[in-house]
Amino acid sequence: MTGKGKSRWADSAEDAALEAQLKKEKEEKKRLKAEKARKAEAEKKKREAEAAAAQRQHQQQQTGDDDHVNGPPAKRRRLSPDRDAAPPQAAPTTASSNDSSKLLRFEGGRFGKCRSVENYDKLNDIEEGAYGWVARAREIETGKVVALKRLKIDPKDRSGLPVTGLREIQILKDCSHRNIVQLKEVVVSDDTSKIENIFIVLEFLEHDLKSILEDMPEPFLASEVKTLLLQLCSGIAYLHSHYILHRDLKTSNLLLNNRGQLKIADFGMARYVPDPPPPKLTQLVVTLWYRAPELLLGAARYGPEIDMWSVGCIFGELLTREPLLQGKNEVDELTKIFELCGLPTDESWPGFRRLPNARSLRLPSSSTKPAPQTTTTTLIRAKFPLLTTAGVSLLSSLLSLNPSKRPTASDMLEHEYFRQDPKPKQEAMFPTFPSKAGQEKRRRRETPNAPQRGQKADGSMGQVDFSSLVGGIFGAGREREERGGGFSLRMV
């Protein structure tokens, strides 16, 4: 593009020809217009619109021809004829205003004060958790049912409104995707002299995946698991492509409506993370059972891979209805992970020994280890005998100890697993469930909560000895690995 300077913008012979043609056209149009002027007012308007449309089409055609002659244009072509060339008396007609090029107009909305929470009628409480209070409510004006989530504010906190809550609002306002819960507005209580009661108004969904899994007598069908995973994954792909890490993916944060639509909720831990990630992020993220091994080992630099680990855990949970890795504490969680996925080695995860907490691990010397990749796969196969080979390969790649081996969300959408039979079930064909959120106060969950700000990010885990694990896991794994991808009568 360099070096052309003036010539790039200067009129070429083709341009001149085009101009002449357009001029001719304009005259033709003027003649037509003179005819039209005699007709009735109402008809005139309609015809002008038609003429304008026709002309636009014509112009498009022409630019198409033009492209053909010149090869691909360097930039967007101007579609408008040169105004100077048009005779001045033509200017005031409506048709000539249609001639001017079409500019994109951006609608950014407006800004203004919060509305009052009194615009909503509370129906029932949904949940009261560590993060605050959620209720079902109805907007008085429209009758629409929404979820009201109260932002938890610690009045003793001298740093003002919690940054997590503000981030949640900011991120949800920026997001627009069918698999991400929609933020409608933020409202405050009537007394605005002090802003203490802040409520986030979210779209209401009947269920969360956690309670469905707890209550269903039979696990989801393979086709249903695929639908849920696909939706989860396309939501996450959207987030990651917008540089957002969720950092607290778990089944209780995935909502489901009665039309089989899954939406990711609770962005209290989420934040924008540039690529490459900044050097220091808090490790106190993600509920323990869904927390990736690099976080447990104290990595301060992490990226979207931690969400993909959680997706792996959710995948496992969808298959068995039980959380996959229910550690009692960080050490126990890491033990459970190594039991399921095998121990990390320098080949399978180069550099893991440099992570802050890895120093306290005592791993067996490298000579006794089996080949790592087959190990994870075989261990996973043993744990999920009914899963197909493609399913096992997806799950074991999601649960790779080495973050760089995990697929990205957009990779995952293309995975073989979703193309194989049984095909993902259509959302509309999804079974429905009685809604707890809609009717009754929900009991408190036994899932541990996501770590809270201010909690100690204690690096030291004490001395942890994993050498004893080796015999046990691998023994067990070997024993069962023959069974392979199984067979199930209920695979629809």
Partner 1 sequence: MSHMINPLATPEQLYQRRSFSALPTELQDAIFFSTQCLTQAAGLLLQLPQSVTAQANVLLARYWLIEPMVSHEFSDISAASVYLTAKLSPYPRSPRDLALVYNYLLSPSSTFFQPSVSASDDSPPPPPPPPTNIPNDYYLPEHVYNSFQTRLLHCESRILYALSFDTHVSLPHPLAITYLQALDFLNTSKSTISKRTLAYLNTALLSPQMLYLTSQPNALAVAAIYNAAKDVGAKMPECEWWEVFDVDREELGFLVVGMRSVEGWGRKMREDVERMKAESESGKRGGMITRRDIEGELRRRGLSVGNGYGGNTGVGSEEVVDMEADMARRMDEKMAEIEGSAS
CB count, 10 Å around CB of 114? 14
Residue 311 CB, nearest approach to partner 1 (Å):
25
Nearest to 473 by CA among 325, 370, 329: 370
Question: Alpha carbon of 13 to those of 20, 22, 28, 77, 122: distances in Å?
Answer: 11, 14, 23, 15, 71
Which 176-215 residues touch partner 1, going by CB under 8 A? Answer: 176, 185-186, 188, 192-195, 198
Nearest to 233 by CA among 80, 407, 65, 360: 407
Find the catalytic residue in 208, 248, 266, 307: 248
| Three-class DSSP category at 358 | helix
Residue 271 CB, nearest approach to partner 1 (Å):
9
For residues 67 to 106, the per-residue mask of contacts with partner 1, x marking binding by CB under 8 A and - elsewhere, is --------xx-x-x--------------------x-xxxx
CB-side exposure of 61: number of CA atoms within 13 Å? Answer: 8
Which 107-146 residues touch partner 1, going by CB under 8 A? Answer: 107-114
Separation between Cα atoms, residue 208 and residue 332, nearest integer Å? 27
Of 85 and 371, nearer to partner 1 (C-beta) is 85
CB-side exposure of 429: number of CA atoms within 13 Å? Answer: 10
Residue 8 CB, nearest approach to partner 1 (Å):
8
Number of residues that bind partner 1 (CB under 8 A): 46
CB-side exposure of 351: number of CA atoms within 13 Å? Answer: 6
Q: Active-site residue 157, yes or no?
A: no
**Which member of 8, 46, 122, 419 binds partner 1 (CB under 8 A)?**
8
Of 72 and 475, nearer to partner 1 (C-beta) is 72
Of 201 and 398, nearer to partner 1 (C-beta) is 201
Residue 112 CB, nearest approach to partner 1 (Å):
6
**Which member of 7, 9, 68, 490 binds partner 1 (CB under 8 A)?**
9
**Which member of 24, 173, 328, 443 binds partner 1 (CB under 8 A)?**
173
CB-side exposure of 71: number of CA atoms within 13 Å? Answer: 1
Q: Which amino acid is at 9?
A: W
Residue 454 lies near partner 1 (rule: CB under 8 A):
no
Of 148 and 262, nearer to partner 1 (C-beta) is 148
Residue 371 lies near partner 1 (rule: CB under 8 A):
no
Burial of residue 283, with CB atoms counted within 10 A of its CB: 0-12 exposed, 13-18 middle, 19 or more buried: buried
CB-side exposure of 314: number of CA atoms within 13 Å? Answer: 27
Non-local (6+) Cβ contacts of 435 within 8 A are 206, 207, 258
Of 165 and 327, nearer to partner 1 (C-beta) is 165
Residue 167 lies near partner 1 (rule: CB under 8 A):
yes
Long-range contacts of 358-361 (CB under 8 A, 24+ apart): 358/297, 358/298, 360/460, 360/461, 360/462, 360/463, 360/464, 361/464, 361/466
**Which member of 63, 93, 170, 373 binds partner 1 (CB under 8 A)?**
170
Of 43 and 191, nearer to partner 1 (C-beta) is 191
Residue 161 lies near partner 1 (rule: CB under 8 A):
yes
**Binding residues for partner 1, per CB under 8 A?**
1-2, 5-6, 8-10, 75-76, 78, 80, 101, 103-114, 158-161, 163, 166-167, 169-170, 173-174, 176, 185-186, 188, 192-195, 198, 274, 278
Residues tagged active-site: 248
